[in-house]
Structure 1
Amino acid sequence: MGLFKASLQNKQQPGCEVHKTQISRIDIQLALLLICTCSFFQHSYAQKNKLAGTWQLISFSDFDPATNTWVQPYGEHPLGYFTYTKSGIVNLNVSSQKPLHFSADSAKKRCFTIYELLFTNGANYFGTYTIDYKNSTVTHYPVGGNIPWYINTCQKRQFKIKGDTLIIGDPTFEIGKRILVKVD
């Protein structure tokens, strides 16, 4: 009980009140600094995760310089998803709006070049990815899929996110452009 009274008496002394006020100001300043710091890191974390999620393919276009036109190798309404996980895994699947239909038996008799199959029917790959926000690029590092010349290479793409829309393609979007909408 004597200690309690002594501590109350110390708090009532004029020198202690100033000290108490200074501590309160320091506490408030530290609290504000902590709030600002947390807000900054939350913003940075959110920015780094804008690409994370599943995006549905809406348009897949390439510019053909020979004809000076945009072409849609998978049709006007291609099917597919691009998925980017928060942990850095990418999985891309693209299919023609009118996939090939034939039986397993007839598949043994049909002949396609890899190029014909990929650019008229569908393409896919999976691997990891990194993002360079300063330059608005994403680099895919495919480790598997049906595009043999992509496996174990770096596939750098320019990207823009506007709301729930992802535009991804070449650095100027003048040669190739894919438009996707976030679904998850």
Structure 2
Amino acid sequence: MNTIVRLALLAALQLGFAGSARAQQAAADAVIGTWTLVSETALHGGKTTEPLGPHPLGCMMLDRGGRFILMIARSDLPRFAAGKREAGTPEENKAVLAGSLSFFGTYRLDGAGGVLILRPEASTFPNWVGADQKRQLTLSGDEMKWVNRAPAIGAEVVEVVWRRAR
């Protein structure tokens, strides 16, 4: 291969890597910020459900340094009759645990923003701590949609929709 062809190939490769790096940075910049939960939909054997009900509540923050915090919950969680967090009845505790999820840790994007990988450091579902949680990601304007193909709730697929907080 002559020198001119080698230089041309090298330049093309460098431009490709630079373009890929720019795409990766643009995707990272697009997810940074505060997001509010719009919906969570689960698919169970052809049947669609809303595990958090029709009006779920949630907030997620992703910072520039690769850290995140997320909390989601049903809007109809029961109040504890005793008025103390540690004094919930078994039924109250079960309803709160089944109707909410919180976790925080680090995140990264893979594949020019196509996959969001969350790595929880603590979670109300302890099985996730230290394990990568991969979400197929789609961004469109102020909406972020992700698909979880390995959900912890027994569904085949869970789709979560977020809207950028104003």
Normalising by the residue count of structure 2, what TM-score does the alignment of the two structures yield? Answer: 0.74
Superposition map of 1:112-127 within 5 A = 112=91, 117-120=96-99, 122-127=100-105
Deviation digits for residues 138-181 of structure 1, max 9, x if unmatched?
A: 1111011211111111111111001100001225xx71100010
- SS of 1:104's partner is coil
Q: Give the whole-Å Cα distance in 1 for the aligned partners of 2:37 and 2:85.
A: 30
Structure 2: runs of 5 or more not aligned? 1-18, 150-155
Structure with max Cα Rg: 1
**More moved, 68-77 vs 137-146:** 68-77
Q: Give the whole-Å Cα distance in 1 for the aligned partners of 2:65 and 2:36.
A: 20
Q: Give the whole-Å Cα distance in 2 for the aligned partners of 1:175 and 1:100.
A: 27
Query: How much has 1:133 moved relative to structure 2?
Result: 3.1
CA RMSD of aligned residues (A): 2.8
The residue aligned with 1:130 is: 108
Matched residues, number: 143
2:15 is aligned with 1:53: no
Give the 3 Å change call, closer, same or farther, for CA 163–104 of structure 1 in structure 2.
same
Q: Give the whole-Å Cα distance in 2 for the aligned partners of 1:46 and 1:142.
A: 24
Query: How much has 1:109 moved relative to structure 2?
Result: 5.3
Superposition map of 1:55-134 within 5 A = 55-65=35-45, 68-102=46-80, 103-104=82-83, 108=87, 110-112=89-91, 117-120=96-99, 122-134=100-112
Query: How much has 1:128 moved relative to structure 2?
Result: 0.2
Letter in 2 for 1:160: T
- SS of 1:99's partner is coil
Higher strand share: 2
Deviation digits for residues 66-114 of structure 1, max 9, x if unmatched?
A: xx31111111110011111111001110011112212335962511598
What is the identity percentage for the equivalent residue pairs of Structure 1 and Structure 2? 21
Give the 3 Å change call, closer, same or farther, for CA 43–109 of structure 1 in structure 2.
closer
Q: Give the whole-Å Cα distance in 1 for the aligned partners of 2:50 and 2:133.
A: 20
The residue aligned with 1:10 is: none
- SS of 2:27's partner is helix
Give the 3 Å change call, closer, same or farther, for CA 106–147 of structure 1 in structure 2.
closer
Letter in 1 for 2:61: T
Q: Give the whole-Å Cα distance in 1 for the aligned partners of 2:84 and 2:104.
A: 29
